[in-house]
Amino acid sequence: MTVLVLTMIFSVVFAIWWYWWRPCPRSPRTYPGALPIIGHIVEAIKYRNDIWSYMERIADYMTDECVQLRMGSHKIYVVSDPDEVGVIANTCLNKSFLYKFLIDVLGNGLLLSDVPTWKLHRKLLNPAFNQKVLNTFVNVMNVEARILVSQLKPVAGQGPANVKEFLIKYILRSVCRTSLGLEAKDQDMIGKEYAQAIDEIITIAVKRGLNVALHPSFVYNITSMRKREQELVTRIKNILNSIIQKRKSDLKITNSTNYDDGSVNGKFKPILDLLLHLSDEQYVLSDDEIRAHLNTFVAASFDTTSSTLQTVLLVLGSYPDVQERVYREINEVFGNKQELTKYDLPKLVYLEAVIKEVLRIYSIAPWVSRHIDTDIVFPKYTLRAGSTCILVLYYLHRHSSWGPDSKQFKPERWLNPDTLPTNPNVYAPFGIGKRNCIGKQYAMMTLKTSVAHIVRNFKLSADISQLYWKYEVILKPINPTLVSFTLRSEFKIFMYK
């Protein structure tokens, strides 16, 4: 009997192995180093804290612009050709299984929703992110940037300071004031507790992703990790529910329940107001969907924007000549004003070039992945339906079309559009194709406003060569983000009480 059971188990395992691992016609080459059953998991774990090295190792092998990786039973295609990336990104809109480990916390928001839901909700939410509405955020962005400058003042002249906590707190406050519409007195309702809960859940999701034994839900659901995840999800829901109820109460008091694509008397319209309007007036969104969208916006905003801002400050501190040029431009645009206006932000051309180059060279999202819904045939190989495809931004941002200096930090390249690559797919820090980031303009405005206020008041010193990344869905610094701040002589002129 025992022999029969073992034989049956072996037969099932072998059948699964043969189905997934057998060579298929016109398949891309398999990257070496795969182990039976678990595939390339060991390498992924090994290089998690040195992700750039792993990207370079795979790039050296990718002579045909695509290779095949294995993660348990999953076939994963790694694609770097810009034209092929464009085809995949606009053909296969469903996210891969890799994102599904975050479904309990992010729910059916824009990041994880299925294609029909994403198309409907993206159309409904687009008005909250048009430029007319975003321009009404500028005053609040200035206020929060000035508060950040005030908080950085005590560390000026004290040597290298870890800026991570300063920037996370700043971004969360800004999101609360703009996207959530909270008053200044309530802007800390989403704070350190929320940020820590999101960070821990992401860590759990990555650990699960790197352990193929935990991929099946029936296994994962009996683990202590799952129990902890549920505790964190409940904590986050409670925080968001309190925000939603607070905003509903505020709107009842002001009788402001209508939402259009503009503003009233210069007052901005937060994304939360639109979500509530769609629920109360148009009966489109459920309470769970409101919370999912809200959580997606807040989590994505603080995590990605704060990490990018850390890198921008490190880069400026490492390139004094670039910083000096940014400083001169900022002074010209500010003039004698204390705040930037919506008309000033487009004038910060060189600062925008610096931010774009940081996003190219130090993209905190190293890749995006899609589920292959149907066979995709390319001249050299075929990507099979049912597989996962990783579109590697790291390779696109260093594609040969950027020129022989593609791996160098060179913001000047953005000042002459005629010299930039013509293929739009080689620059994708906010995603590729139709399913890109809805908040990319909001993020750029936040980055430009905050950097302008910081550089106007401080001279920065840092060493970007000491920055090492670990993979936590996005890339995050392993070591403290150390920046030295020195007050500029003009500080008293610009500083606010």
DSSP 262-275: S-BTTB---HHHHH
Sorted by sequence, the CB contacts under 8 Å of residue 108 that are 6+ apart come out as 117, 288, 289, 292
H runs (alpha helix) in 281-335? 287-318, 320-334
Task: Please provide residue 210's backbone torsions phi and psi, each rounded to the nearest 5 degrees.
Answer: -90, 5
Q: Is 437 annotated as a binding residue?
A: yes
Helix (H, G, I), strand (E, B), or coil: what is residue 79? strand
Q: Decide: residue 376, CB within 10 A, 0-12 exposed, 13-18 middle, 19+ buried.
A: buried
The distance of Cα 186 from the centroid of its chain, to the nearest Å, equals 26
User: In 10 A of CB 163, how many CB atoms?
Assistant: 25
CA distances from 214 to 220, 221, 228 (A): 5, 9, 15
CA distances to 234, 258, 342 from 324, rounded to whole Å, are 47, 46, 23
Interatomic CA distance for residues 264 and 243, integer angstroms: 22
Q: How far is CA 360 from CA 119, 137, 163, 303, 312, in A?
A: 28, 26, 22, 18, 12
Residue 413 tokens, joined: 């390249």
Q: Which two tokens stand for residue 232?
A: 């964190």
Q: Which of 274, 287, 266 is nearest to 180 (CA)?
A: 274
Residue 367 Ramachandran class (φ > 0 left, ψ -120 to 50 alpha, else beta) = beta
Query: Which residue reads 């045939």 in tokens?
Result: 377
> For the CA atoms of the chain, what is the radius of gyration?
24
Alpha-carbon span 192 to 196, nearest angstrom: 6
Q: What is the DSSP letter of 225?
A: H
Q: What is the distance, to the nearest Å, from the Cα of residue 239 to the centroid of all Cα atoms in its chain?
A: 22
Which of 62, 65, 74, 60 is CA-nearest to residue 21? 74
Q: How far apart are CA 370 and CA 86, in angstroms?
A: 12
Burial (CB count <10 Å: 0-12, 13-18, 19+), residue 446: buried
Binding residues: 437
Binding residues for heme: 437
